């Protein structure tokens, strides 16, 4: 077989890289090689436990991409020869002109005693594994989730909705410790506790206690033992880069594939996108462990447009983390760097904050409390980061702030920006949270 | 009396001008002179008819502004002498160093035969008037609303929720004819009709038919007669500028007070903000009839920061209209110029469009259909306008697009922008509507 473009991996990054390249170059032949017959919407995975009616509702449709003329081969790639410009599966040899690694990531399994027993689960992006996990979870009485990052918290909230007792164990001192500063995660923590979830922060797992090879409890560092007939490890992901490393691609930090600004790897005609690729922070240019589907699709669009000639010239923007989530009806989002990160990296900052409601007037039904925290550089007032807790409009509100960060807006830019407002949809024009949070900082500067 | 700053008018613009000035200059004495003991949240007014429990829930609180040390005088200003730097009420004479006109607007009453009868109402920002209107509306069987702009449509939707038969009469060929292009207002129109509202577009009112001085019906141009025991005129507002004109301020187009980029009028030390001030379009610099509370607060912040010395240097950005609304659960927003306006002004454009859902995967509960239409300049691909129909996140989604317009972003900027996504809050990363709508246009450019 011979293709102009071969993409290894067919989740968010692979599909979008192939789609973007095909749309930009309809005359080129494009093949996606992936292991899975069925792939899942990655960020939808927590919702297979309750909100969605079945795991099949979380399938990622590939028909629109097939319709564009992209071919699929469901096989495992065993070897890549960048010298011969070929990839090999057990059955097939495929020549390429351009190659994209979009091999994703797999859960990191921490070396805890007893971790290899029945009843201990991870959250991979794997249809069959997750399907097999649904029944034991539904039969469990006590579920312990290890790790209070977004996936851990979302999965916990969903399993709680099944009526289970769910306990989250987190080694750091709070939930969502990387995305939010203390003041903001305190709000989230309160919501989590009031929802009925149990949270053990500052707690390390000593061992998983088993009985006849089945996990039955978890022992914490402080000696506490929690009953657990199901344990879910949510302690991070690591890039799938064995194939790329064997092919001789230069590896960046955290074992991810190094790429330049156009997603080109160290080898000519070979690109990488998504969780398997190294990401650099927007403000510090340091490597980050950013693994978001939105980041993956961003990489993939950049790669897809630039595969056959760099058309989309970038000015070294780096990656910005923009998260959002909703837990027990409370929505939240974060973009850019936190106050804590700013301080540890040595940024001299000012903080602006707004506390109000997300609709107006304050008497209107269906409103939610809305907190917006903005982190600015002290001189110049450049926006470095933002954190939001709010009703469901938080998802787009954090995108307003993400755009502001990516385009270098300052507190002064924000207070002279025109926003739209409406009683049923947003905070009031007199109390619009981005303005209120930026205003105090703008005043100190002007 | 003697104040460093006197603000005439105490609605959105007046309050925010005074607040901003006081926060920036705590040592200055600030007085707001206004006619009304009670002022209302302007954009909340339609919601006094159903969503809010009473008109009192729509009061605009002034205690936080009083607490800052801003004084209030509830009197009607009769005369302004810019030469002597004084304002006069019947009882009081006040000297000022700086003066802000924030006198707002009043409904325009069209010269229809029979318009001065009982049962014919306008929608002023007047607590007493609106309070007096609630009972006759609640007793009416058939209500006719003249004018299908945002206020007309919102008021109609609210009165419909009381269980009334409500008919909207609009002279132009569709609802919301100025904010949305035909394709988008068709979606809105469908929702309006399915909600039970009756809509008569392309219909002019010939006369209001009365009986003993009470309106009972409305006759249209085509001879149709609609029963109506309450008729609401929602045909636009005009700036309150009699006082300013008498004081000798230069008037701009549409009888609004001319201002420069810092909200300074033609007279030294006199500023104007909000509905009474002239607004200039962001792209054409033509006068617009823009009268939004969000625009008013924008003016007021600019004026407030620059009253005692221009600190916030602007680069002649002009005004951009950013609207949002929700009708019968469908949310919508518009920013910048429409395709129709672009064409009538001579812009050579390209259109990008996305049709998907506002959550992901598409199977998730509580999703809404989401349409995003983007209007770009053909060469360069600068974003000129945006229209959104969606679930409730439309209010912040249109602010993402409003920011993009105000900062000159192009289709290429948008496709390389990083957005955050989440199943419960936004469209999927692979189908994020701003990216999808920008992509086809970006491809044609690169």
- CB of B394 within 8 Å of a chain A CB? The answer is yes
Give the residue on B whose Cα is nearest the Cα of A329: B424
- Using the predicted structure, report yes or no on whether residue A316 has a pLDDT greater than 70: no
Cβ atoms of B277 and B257 within 8 Å: the answer is yes
What lies within 8 Å, CB to CB, of B179 at 6+ separation is B149, B150, B185, B321, B323, B334, B338, B387
* 8-state DSSP, B298: H
Pick A2-104+239-306's CATH classification: 3.50.50.60, 3.90.79.10, 3.40.605.10, 3.40.50.11890.
3.50.50.60
The CATH architecture that domain B2-106+238-306 belongs to is 3-Layer(bba) Sandwich (3.50)
At A23, the pLDDT band (50, 70, 90 cuts) reads very high
Interface touch A319/B53, C-beta < 8 Å:
no
* 8-state DSSP, B392: T
Interface touch A393/B392, C-beta < 8 Å:
yes
Q: Chain A closest CA to B38's CA: distance in Å?
A: 14
- CB of A245 within 8 Å of a chain B CB? The answer is no
> For A24-48, what is the mean pLDDT?
96
Please tell me the distance from the alpha carbon of residue B111 to that of residue A261, in angstroms, as a whole number: 63
Pick B109-235's CATH classification: 2.170.120.20, 3.10.20.30, 3.50.50.60, 1.10.150.130.
3.50.50.60
Alpha carbon A140 to chain centroid, angstroms:
28
Q: Chain B closest CA to A243's CA: distance in Å?
A: 25
Alpha carbon B276 to chain centroid, angstroms:
13
**Residue A326, helix vs strand vs coil:** strand
**Residue A73, helix vs strand vs coil:** strand
pLDDT value, residue B317: 77
Q: Do domains B2-106+238-306 and B109-235 have the same CATH topology?
A: yes
Active site residue ranges of B: 43
| Topology of the domain comprising B332-445 | Enolase-like; domain 1 (3.30.390)
* Cβ neighbours around A63 below 10 Å, total: 7
* Cβ neighbours around A11 below 10 Å, total: 25
Cβ atoms of A403 and A364 within 8 Å: the answer is no
**With contacts defined as CB-CB under 8 Å, which chain B residues touch A404?**
403
Q: At what angle do helices B12-24 and A433-445 cross, to 10 degrees?
A: 30
Predicted-complex ipTM score: 0.94
Mean pLDDT estimate for chain A:
96
What lies within 8 Å, CB to CB, of A33 at 6+ separation is A6, A7, A8, A9, A10, A72, A73, A75, A77, A87, A89, A94
Alpha carbon B25 to chain centroid, angstroms:
29
User: Domain locations in chain A?
Assistant: 2-104+239-306, 109-235, 322-445
pLDDT value, residue B316: 65
> For A16-28, what is the mean pLDDT?
97
pLDDT value, residue A275: 97
Interface list for B 407-426 with A (CB within 8 A): 407, 409, 412, 415-426
Q: Are strands B30-34 and B93-101 parallel, antiparallel or unpaired?
A: unpaired
Cβ atoms of B420 and A399 within 8 Å: the answer is yes
Rounded CA Rg of chain A: 23
Please tell me the distance from the alpha carbon of residue B385 to that of residue B401, in angstroms, as a whole number: 8
Q: Are strands A205-211 and A214-220 parallel, antiparallel or unpaired?
A: antiparallel
Q: At what angle do helices A394-406 and A433-445 cross, to 10 degrees?
A: 30
Please tell me the distance from the alpha carbon of residue A335 to that of residue A385, in angstroms, as a whole number: 6
According to the 3-state scheme, what is the secondary structure of A401-443?
HHHHHHCCCEHHHHHCCCCCCCCCCCCCCCCCHHHHHHHHHHH
Tokens representing B226? Answer: 């609609």
- Using the predicted structure, report yes or no on whether residue A318 has a pLDDT greater than 90: no
Determine the residue among A50, A51, A412, A429 to mutate to test chain B binding: the one whose Cβ has the most chain B Cβ atoms within 10 Å: A429
- CB of B368 within 8 Å of a chain A CB? The answer is no
Give the H/E segment covering residue B349: strand B349-357
Give the residue on B whose Cα is nearest the Cα of A407: B407
Per-residue pLDDT of chain B (446 residues; tens, 9 = 90+): 999 999 999 999 999 999 999 999 999 999 999 999 999 999 999 999 999 999 999 999 999 999 999 999 999 999 999 999 999 999 999 999 999 999 999 999 999 999 999 999 999 999 999 999 999 999 999 999 999 999 999 999 999 999 999 999 999 999 999 999 999 999 999 999 999 999 999 999 999 999 999 999 999 999 999 999 999 999 999 999 999 999 999 999 999 999 999 999 999 999 999 999 999 999 999 999 999 999 999 999 999 999 999 988 876 678 999 999 999 989 999 999 999 999 999 999 999 999 999 999 999 998 999 999 999 999 999 999 999 999 999 999 999 999 999 999 999 999 999 999 999 999 999 999 999 999 999 999 88
Summarize pLDDT for A372-403 with one digit per residue, the tens. 999 999 999 999 999 999 999 999 999 999 99
pLDDT value, residue B198: 96
| Topology of the domain comprising A322-445 | Enolase-like; domain 1 (3.30.390)
Predicted TM-score (pTM) of the model is 0.95
Q: How many A/B residue pairs have CB atoms within 8 Å?
A: 283
Exposure on the CB side of residue A292, measured as CA atoms within 13 A: 26
Exposure on the CB side of residue A199, measured as CA atoms within 13 A: 27
Please tell me the distance from the alpha carbon of residue A240 to that of residue B132, in angstroms, as a whole number: 69
Measured CA to CA in angstroms, residue A440 lies from A174, A222, B22, B65, B408 at distances of: 28, 44, 12, 15, 26
Interface touch A324/B420, C-beta < 8 Å:
yes
Please tell me the distance from the alpha carbon of residue B396 to that of residue A422, in angstroms, as a whole number: 10
Summarize pLDDT for A394-432 with one digit per residue, the tens. 999 999 999 999 999 999 999 999 999 999 999 999 999
Interface list for A 254-313 with B (CB within 8 A): 292-298, 301-302, 305, 311-312
Give the E-state strand segments of B11-107 in sequence order: 30-34, 70-74, 77-81, 86-89, 93-101, 105-107
* Cβ neighbours around B134 below 10 Å, total: 13
Closest CA to A356 of A418, A412, A428: A428
First vs last Cα of chain A: how many Å apart?
64
Measured CA to CA in angstroms, residue A80 lies from A18, A101, A249, A423 at distances of: 18, 10, 10, 57
Measured CA to CA in angstroms, residue A407 lies from A144, A305, A402, B417 at distances of: 42, 21, 9, 9
Summarize pLDDT for A213-254 with one digit per residue, the tens. 999 999 999 999 999 999 999 999 999 999 999 999 999 999
Please tell me the distance from the alpha carbon of residue B191 to that of residue B103, in angstroms, as a whole number: 36
Please tell me the distance from the alpha carbon of residue B433 to that of residue B440, in angstroms, as a whole number: 12
């Amino acid at each position: 077989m011979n293709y102009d473009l071969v993409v290894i991996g067919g989740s968010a990054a692979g599909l979008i890289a192939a789609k973007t390249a095909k749309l930009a170059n309809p005359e080129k032949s494009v093949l996606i090689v992936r292991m899975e017959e069925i792939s899942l919407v990655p960020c939808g995975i927590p919702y297979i436990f309750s909100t969605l009616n079945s795991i099949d509702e979380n399938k990622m449709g590939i028909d629109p991409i097939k319709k564009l003329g992209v071919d699929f081969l469901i096989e495992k790639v065993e070897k890549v020869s960048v010298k011969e410009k070929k990839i090999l599966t057990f059955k097939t040899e495929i020549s390429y002109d351009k190659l994209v690694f979009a091999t994703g990531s797999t859960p990191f399994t921490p070396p805890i005693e007893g971790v290899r027993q029945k009843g201990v689960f991870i959250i991979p992006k794997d249809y069959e594994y997750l399907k097999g996990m649904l029944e034991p979870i539904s039969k469990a009485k006590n579920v312990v989730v290890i790790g209070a990052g977004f996936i851990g918290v979302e999965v916990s909230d969903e399993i709680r909705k099944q009526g289970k007792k769910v306990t989250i164990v987190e080694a750091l001192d709070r939930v969502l410790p990387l995305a939010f500063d203390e003041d903001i995660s305190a709000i989230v923590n309160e919501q989590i506790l009031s929802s009925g979830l149990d949270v053990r922060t500052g707690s390390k797992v000593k061992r998983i206690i088993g009985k006849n090879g089945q996990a039955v409890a978890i022992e914490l560092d402080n000696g506490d033992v929690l009953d657990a007939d199901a344990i879910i490890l949510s302690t991070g992901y690591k890039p799938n880069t064995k194939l790329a490393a064997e092919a001789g691609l230069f590896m960046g930090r955290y074992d991810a594939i190094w790429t330049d600004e156009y997603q080109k790897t160290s080898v000519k005609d070979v690109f990488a996108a998504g969780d398997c690729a190294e990401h650099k922070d927007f403000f510090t240019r340091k490597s980050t462990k950013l693994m978001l589907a939105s980041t993956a699709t961003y990489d993939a669009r950049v790669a897809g447009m630039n595969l056959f000639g760099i058309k989309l010239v970038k000015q070294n923007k780096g990656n910005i983390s923009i998260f959002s989530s909703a837990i027990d009806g409370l929505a939240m989002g974060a973009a850019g760097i936190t106050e804590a990160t700013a301080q540890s990296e040595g940024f001299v900052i000012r903080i602006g904050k707004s506390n109000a409601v997300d609709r107006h007037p304050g008497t209107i039904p269906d409103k939610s409390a809305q907190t917006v925290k903005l982190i600015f550089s002290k001189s110049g007032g450049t926006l470095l980061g933002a954190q939001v807790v709010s009703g469901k409009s938080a998802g787009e509100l954090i995108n307003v702030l993400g755009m502001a960060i990516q385009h270098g807006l300052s507190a002064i830019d924000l207070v002279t920006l025109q926003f739209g407002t409406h009683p049923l949809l947003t905070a009031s024009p007199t109390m619009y949270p981005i303005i209120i949070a930026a205003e105090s900082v703008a005043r100190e500067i002007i």
